[in-house]
Structures are given as C-alpha cells and as structure tokens.
Amino acid sequence: MSGPVSGATYDAIVVGAGPNGLVAANRLADHGWSVLVLEAQPTVGGAVRSDTELHPDFVHDTFSAFYPLAAASRTLASFALEDHGLTWRHAPAVLGHPLPDGSWAMLHRDREVTAALLEEQYAGDGAAWLQLCSSWDRVGESLVSGLLTPFPPVRALPGLLRGLPGAGGADFVKMLLTPATTLGRQLFGGVHPRLLLAGNAGHADIPLDAVGSGLMAVLLCMLGQTVGFPVPEGGAGRLTQALADRFTGLGGQVRCSMRVERVLVEKGRAVGVRTAEGEVLRARHAVIADVIASHLYGDLVAPGDLPTRTLTSMRRFDLDPSTVKVDWALDGPVPWASPPPYRPGTVHVSDSPEQLTEALTQVAARAVPADPFLLVGQMTTADPTRSPDGTESMWAYTHVPQSSVRDAGDEGIRGVWDSSDCQRFADRMQGRIERLAPGFGSKVLSRRVLGPDELEARDENLVGGAVNGGTSQLHQQLVLRPVPGLGRAETPLRGLFLASASAHPGGGVHGAPGSNAARAAVARRRRRLGRP
C-alpha cells in the first residue's frame, strides 16, 4: 500500500453530509470560512434522502419524511432554502390515527377543526384541546428555540419566563413533565386526544410512562397545530440538496464517496482527517463531525488521543432502539375501511393507548413486538409529485430491540434481521394495515424492506438501525448528551466539534447540533485570535 497522499488545507473539514453536517458547513461558509464536506455515501443527505429504487415512477424517502422540527427551526429559516429549490407541501390533514371501531383521531392544521372533531367524540375534549393550544401559544416559540440552541438556553429564557404565567405557570411546567399516558388521562375524557398524545410521544424512544414523553407528545402535537408536518416537494432529498446547493453557491466544496477513517490529532488538537483512500486533508481551525458519538470516540479518533474519562463514559453510551422500515408503491390510494374525514400525511397505527404502550414496553424488554406501533407516511397524499395521479407512495416504520431475546408474536422472529426475519416482520406490519384497510395487499406494485443492516449500510450513523444518534431518554439528554459534560458541541479535543444527532438536543431534522457546532468553532477561533 502506498503512504498517505497530502491534500489541501481548509479552514474547516466537515465529516458527513447529513442535515447537521450541511447546516454546520453553511454556517461556517456564511462566516467566510473555506469548508470541505466529506461524505461516505455517493450522495449527500444522510438520513434525509429519497430514491426511486422501488419503481421508476415513485419517489420514496429512504429514511425520514416529515419535518415539523425543520419548519420550526430558526436556523433553517435563516438559510432561505426556498431560494435554493425547496418547496414545502402539506397533506390535507397533519395526522390521522384509525381505530378498529372505524373512527379516526385527527390532527388538522386548523386547531378549530381538530377541536371540533375531538368534541364530536367526547364532550369537553374540544375545549380542553383549545386550552392546550392557547397555553402553548404563550411559550411554545421560546420553548422550541430553547430546545434548539446550545444548553443552557440563555437567549430563550426571558421569553419563556414572560409567557409562563399566562400559560399556567408551575402547572404548565408540571404538565410538560408528566408522562404522556398520564397526561392524556388528566387532560381529556375521550380516547382520541390520548392517542394523538401517545402516538406523537412514540416518535421518540422515551417510555410513555416516563418523564420526557409528555413534553415530546405536546411538542409534536402543537407543532402540528402551528407549522404542520410539511414534506419537501419532490422528496426528502430536496431539503438536503437545497442545503448543499446553498453551501456550494457560497464556494464550499462537497466530496461524496469519501469516507473519513481517522481524525488526525497533534498535541491534543484536531488538525485534519485521513480518508479511507489514504488522502490527508488538513483543517486550520476545526474538524466538525456529523458522526454518531460511538464511531467518533475511539474509532475515528484513536483511543490513545482521548482522555480515559471519555472512553469510560462512551462504554455506557446508550443507543436508541433499532428500526424496520417498509416502503410500498401502491397502484391506488390506501383502501381504508372507513375513510378519514380529512386525508392525513402521517398515520399512526395502534388499536389503543394501552396497545401502544405495550408495544414500546415489549421493545424495551428486548422482545420483537407482537403488535408493533406503526408510523406511516402517505407521501403522495402529502405531495402529489411523488407518484402518478391516483397512486400512493407509502412507507411504515417501527422500532425493534437492538438485541432481541424473544418474539412477543407468533412467528418466531429471531431478531437477527436477516432476510427471513425482515420479510416476516414486514408481513406482520403489513397485516396491521390490511386489518384497517382490507385489500391493501392487492394494491402493492412493489415493496422494499429496510432492516437494521440495510439502514446502516445506507448511513453508518444509523448503528444497528438506531435513528436518533443515541437514546432520547433523560439519562442521556442535555448536559448528559452524549456523555456527561457540558451538553455542548466542544469535545475533549481542541478543534474537534460534535455536530451529529448524538449532540444536544438530539435526533430530528432541525439542524441544531450542526448550528451549535459551527457556532462553537467560530467562537473558539475568535478566542484564539483574541478578537471580540
């Protein structure tokens, strides 16, 4: 093998072109830095990509699909991505949750419509929903901005403190700390709003009876009421492509199919990277890692370059659960036995809050869930450009244990996620939809199953099919993310910044870890140069 090839020097090198890496790259380019982004995959986007693998006429989002957090993100808004080809589209309704009795719990963008539908099901729930919305109106924006900026959220605090008394003061804080299932029972009499809360909490891996699940539930429901669950016209990949186009328009460089295998360290400072091909690229001011923490520490950065404390803490780094995702190209709309009052983009599938809780509990108990909770996307409903008129580009995903000890269902799925496990589990998932939409199977033109291995092969940050760069549970949040410290983008190595979903505030497409990392890099450079 030949020795390392020396390449150019940049102000910053960003490892990984996921949304967070691209946000960091844009931010640094805005500051006039010369920036190179290196991406292992053949295309940019990380877990925000789309493809036409299933059918040439159908666009499928390979991973993520709905972007309430992106729509609420001030960072992304500041990039004016609409000027770089991004157009947001909305389904007629944000979210629907079909029940076995034929009714639908619905989240409509118009809160009055949501409230009226909830009121029809249970007297008083409409008013209770509107009360929740009006409390949120007072603090929601500050809360979201506090969540999406570095910890502690100093800038958001005044707004929060101003709004809190009108939102209910300490009672509102208590409400946000209440677990999702308890909260649903406390606020509402009917099952529909309880399902909306529980289903939205189920987007994170926080148990529905644990602190944090209530905040997640309220956050996503209220974002549904304020910004909706939008999708990029033409496919998820248009969002990251817009970020990449803006960045290259500023003079930034992106090189794909370039895996970084080592962060180079000299005298305790990150000074560049070495690619898998042996090319050495140097960074004057910063290496920004859009890399899952468990790969960064001890793999990309050699163990000998890290303090023992970091290595020890990383041994206790807790991944979030694994994932199985199924995509379908359908030759017609989903034949829901009882059609929803408004056609939703996102659909949640679980018969009751109790069944939903049980499914998540089984995953926590390392069992393959018998009745998995499905997150479903009707993408053509949300964006008619995704497939020909009258058809549907659809997906569903659900979580499974990182390592399973048994199948809580009857099929003896072993949890090794080879082709047999994946196909049988996909049948179980499809069976859940078929029960609510008889004839669904006959609409399928083609199906693709992405198990944990397939997800990771397409994006190595999705270790074992984990989607959020580490658990979202309280023991690994804020100053504890990814390891106990300050909850900031700085790492034990000068010049190295963590920009991925493994950093505060975690997963979801909002760009906060990327923005925080860029901000920290710029601040450090100013300190070094002694400039204000």
Ligand X SMILES: Cc1cc2nc3c(=O)[nH]c(=O)nc-3n(C[C@H](O)[C@H](O)[C@H](O)COP(=O)(O)OP(=O)(O)OC[C@H]3O[C@@H](n4cnc5c(N)ncnc54)[C@H](O)[C@@H]3O)c2cc1C
In the complex, which residues of this chain contact ligand X (CB under 6 A)? 15-21, 38-41, 46-48, 63-67, 69, 259-260, 290-291, 300, 323, 325, 397, 455, 459-462, 467-469, 500-501, 507-509
Q: Which residue is nearest to ligand X (CB)?
A: 18
CB of 253 to ligand X, least distance (A): 14
Q: Which is nearer to ligand X, 351 or 456 (CB)?
A: 456
Q: Which is nearer to ligand X, 98 or 452 (CB)?
A: 452
CB of 54 to ligand X, least distance (A): 15
Report the candidate in 54, 69, 113, 85 with the shortest Cα–Cα distance to residue 344: 113
DSSP output for 46-79: TTS-EE-SS-TT--EESS----HHHHH-HHHHHT
Burial class of residue 52 in the structure, from the number of CB atoms within 10 Å of its CB (0-12 exposed, 13-18 middle, 19+ buried) = middle
Q: Which is nearer to ligand X, 126 or 508 (CB)?
A: 508
Contact 375, 389 (CB under 8 A): no
CB of 527 to ligand X, least distance (A): 26
Q: Which is nearer to ligand X, 73 or 121 (CB)?
A: 73
CB of 500 to ligand X, least distance (A): 4
Q: Which is nearer to ligand X, 17 or 347 (CB)?
A: 17
CB of 30 to ligand X, least distance (A): 18
Burial class of residue 14 in the structure, from the number of CB atoms within 10 Å of its CB (0-12 exposed, 13-18 middle, 19+ buried) = buried
Q: Supply 527's token pair.
A: 């300190």
CB of 118 to ligand X, least distance (A): 24
Contact 240, 49 (CB under 8 A): yes
CB of 106 to ligand X, least distance (A): 19
452 upstream amide cis, omega within 30 of 0 = no
Q: Which is nearer to ligand X, 188 or 425 (CB)?
A: 425
CB of 138 to ligand X, least distance (A): 25
User: Whole-angstrom Cα distance, residue 499 to residue 287?
Assistant: 10
Q: Residue 314's CB: how many other CB atoms inside 10 A?
A: 18
Between the alpha carbon of residue 58 and those of residues 212, 235, 331, 388, the distances in Å are: 37, 10, 10, 7
Q: What share of the chain is helix, strand, coil (3-state, %, to 5)?
A: 40, 20, 40
Q: Which is nearer to ligand X, 320 or 421 (CB)?
A: 320
Q: Which is nearer to ligand X, 259 or 414 (CB)?
A: 259
Contact 511, 23 (CB under 8 A): yes
